[in-house]
Chains A and B, each alone.
Chain A
């Protein structure tokens, strides 16, 4: 056993003392002659000087409408793949999968969303859908949630997005079904075989650092645009949470229980079916919930690749500019309704199924009777919706346009009255933070920036961090999108900086005041359920299209997760330590800065890591609203065939940026050795609140 290393110098309230060292203890690391921050400042200063000398040369800028050989190779590859559609085995497999997906989606659309020819309307009209959805919610989650579900769906219809809403649900549910069909067996395999677990876990790790957006491009290489690619992308993105959580749950079934039941002579199969799966069930349901929310979130983004659903109207409105904010708002609101509905119902269902499994949950007979009656009502509603046209097609109401109009005028009013304020904020942040940093990062010669980033990685995360940064930067160089990547990196760094400042302030506040925690936490939880897309809308309304909007949206998107991490970290600092420090006469400020924050440093680094990844995901989506750089390149790749290769290259660059940022933050976290286990726990992106 090695004895626990002593605290990092600089963390403790008093400097570490060497004399009187207890025998056998590892001596504390010698204090660095120059502290870490000194090195960091030195590197930045040298970097800045070099960038002045470089004066805008060798920045590897590639104009938006130009492509390079490397990028064109993907465009050609796609052309080749399409040309070889009938001969290439891979393409045939993809084609078959694609046809199957399209077929299922079409069937489901005929069932609930689009006219099922020769019928002028779908098989089941809106009333029938309400009836069935309500009944299912009643059965799995209780009557309150049944009402909530019906209200949410009706709201979507009233806003005028019934068909798109149905499509979104179709893509989401179908993708979740496929994810579970693939993911659960894989999870079982991982849960029962150490080796498989060791192989698959790092793959999932990497997959989960990718922003949702980058799944689109490689898929578009094989699939043609439409429902199939939306499903494929959604499945790929939604798979990791359920696999990871279920496998973890299976692996963490109590060793004693397994041993005890094995001692009674069970077979391996009996162990899985009778012991491991039932004991892991609650966590598996949490995994399903996360998978569903992830699926919803990306099925909206799949509007980019012409996936059916609410993504498309949002996208259209967003790209149409600021006079469409009202429309974007009501489409976004529909997404929010659906997100909340799915989250609430699946969460309630998991809680309730626990209750029922334990023989609770009220009188079963009564429950059965209620279900039967409600089922009959649902059937009647289906019948009615098949018989009367006005119950089949959601009636056009004025609600949607009116709300849109109201929001639009409110927005216009705000922007005209507060434009001074918003422009002020925008200009200040741009001139004080964004521009200087961009001059430094993107405006230096590429080799200077590259070297500086590698050195910084070494300082923060050690040699392994430096090595992975070297590899990632090399990759980015190869994609010929160096300048754009550096601009994106700038946005990411600025947004993350603000995220961390706000997260620390709010997090400390939450940790120190129960009331604040009670008020803020539900908000943060709800915010984490939202698909990233919807965050763009209000920000766009306030600041108009541009790089700044992307940064602000990213900031808003990342704040909840980071804040919760900080709050949990500070809260974890042991009562005794806090008491001891208070007894020693610390002021609250000293308590925070000298005890609570340093001791929560592991969580702070984690918050930064998560913040970076969330921000990156959003900054990229911001390409849509004039965020420029890599995001713009990706969007361009989808919208114009000749830029496909550039879009793919941008996707690669984004992935590399993500890996680089993640490795450095993670390396720093591991060096900190405060909370390494937390990282694994956090690799579940969407609503993290279920895990805490």
Chain B
């Protein structure tokens, strides 16, 4: 991974709801489980000592069961919820120390958010909803309408500029939400389960939309979801939370291939492995006897994509990384993943980054 400075850096972030929550941090109480703390003094630990970095242009997915603290975490990033402790750095600026007006500047220019229930203004036309961020920062009407109009087109709502939100379907409303977030031209986009209120087909459309926009605009994204398919489809990396704590952070294939505990294993148990696992996780160490005639593939080729070529050839696949042979994948290793949906066949040959 290239070593540019992270777009977003979170360090030791805590959020405890309840009175006198700040008194809890640093005491042994903070280490109590969520239920115990709640029983003891009524406070709820929604986010517990969370740290991570997000690289520029990365799509960083946050996952977890309901109540695990995802929404709280993502809201803390721009202090829509005030964190109890910890540090958040965006673009070199310490968000936790920002004044009210600095915070507004941050929200107006650098970070925007898309919400599960859209949060549109029912009394405004689509175009004025999209332009709202520009309006609050004082952009002139003609200019902001023009800019907003471009975004309405970008998210595929051409012709709906003058509709009101309740005249649109859920999917279209969320496109408005997306356009509104994009209107500020932020470097970072936050999504809190943006598509979970939509039906499956529309959801897939919207996911594709995000993929397209990401390819086009190269934004940094923090994307909360509880839909693993969605996480795997969009995420460069996935953070899995439980009861406010990080359970695992890793690339999709890694999470599926090597869940750190039963919670994660449960989470990923339904995933069609062949769609996610890369050759890295199914290969074995090469031996001198191995044939060198088989197809050559890179380590992060997904198994399903490799399957046809691999099975067509009489020889095992040679897996290379940086031009060097790092492993061999036999037909039955592929079949085990594709047909039997078995988990990782052999012990890992190399620790993932």
Contact = CB atoms under 8 A, between A and B. Distances in A.
Interface of A: 254, 256-267, 270, 274-275, 278-279, 281, 357-359
A273 to B, nearest CB: 10
Contacts of A278: 121, 123
B106 A265 contact: yes
B121 A257 contact: yes
Contact of B162 (A254, A261, A267, A359): A359
Nearest to B109: A265
A263 B123 contact: no
B334 interface: no
Interface in B103-137: 103-109, 112-113, 115-123, 125, 132-133, 135-137
A395 to B, nearest CB: 48
Contact of A266 (B106, B115, B136): B136
Contact of B117 (A256, A264, A270, A359): A256
Report, nearest first, the 5 A-B pairs whose CB atoms are least far apart: A260-B119, A265-B108, A265-B107, A264-B133, A256-B119
B267 interface: no
A260 B177 CA distance: 9
A267 to B, nearest CB: 7
B180 interface: yes
Contacts of B164: 358-359
Given A274-B136, A358-B164, A261 B105 contact: no
Interface string B164-177: 10000000000001
B136 A259 contact: no
Contact of A265 (B115, B117, B136, B180): B136
B133 A265 contact: yes
Interface string B129-148: 00011011100000000000
A658 B65 CA distance: 52
B118 A267 contact: no
Contact of A264 (B112, B116, B162): B112
A359 B177 CA distance: 22
A279 B105 contact: no
Contacts of B108: 264-265
Contacts of A260: 113, 115, 118-120, 177, 180
Nearest to B135: A274
Interface string B325-343: 0000000000000000000
Given A264-B112, A266-B132, 9 more contacts: A256-B115, A259-B75, A260-B115, A260-B177, A261-B132, A263-B78, A263-B112, A265-B184, A357-B123
Contacts of A279: 121-123
B260 interface: no
Nearest to B162: A359
B121 A275 contact: yes
A351 to B, nearest CB: 15
B203 to A, nearest CB: 19
A275 B116 CA distance: 19
Nearest to A261: B132
A53 B112 CA distance: 80
Interface residues of B, number: 32
B32 interface: no
5 contacts: A261-B119, A263-B78, A263-B113, A274-B121, A281-B123
Contact of A261 (B78, B116, B121): B121
A85 to B, nearest CB: 50
A267 B75 CA distance: 18
Contacts of A263: 78, 80, 107, 112-113, 115
A256 B120 CA distance: 8
A260 B113 CA distance: 7
B184 to A, nearest CB: 7
A275 B129 CA distance: 11
Interface in B232-276: none
A32 to B, nearest CB: 34
B230 to A, nearest CB: 20
Nearest to A266: B136
A259 B80 contact: yes
A259 B114 CA distance: 10
A270 B121 contact: no
Q: Max chain B CB contacts within 10 Å: which of A261, A262, A264?
A: A264
A262 B123 contact: no
A257 B120 contact: yes
Contacts of B113: 260, 263
Contacts of A281: 123
A272 B110 CA distance: 24
B191 to A, nearest CB: 12
Contacts of B162: 359
Nearest to A359: B162
A256 B116 CA distance: 9
Contacts of A254: 117, 119
B21 to A, nearest CB: 18
Contacts of B103: 265
Given A256-B118, A260-B115, A260-B118, A265 B123 contact: no
A262 B109 CA distance: 13
A262 B162 CA distance: 23
A279 B121 CA distance: 8
A684 to B, nearest CB: 24
A281 B122 CA distance: 12
Nearest to B128: A274
Nearest to B163: A359
Contacts of B118: 256, 260
B137 A259 contact: no
B122 A264 contact: no
Nearest to B117: A256
A267 B121 contact: no
Nearest to B103: A265
Contact of B105 (A262, A265, A266): A265
A681 to B, nearest CB: 22
A217 to B, nearest CB: 44
Contacts of A358: 164
A279 B122 CA distance: 7
A264 B132 contact: yes
Q: Max chain A CB contacts within 10 Å: which of B115, B121, B180?
A: B121
A260 B133 CA distance: 10
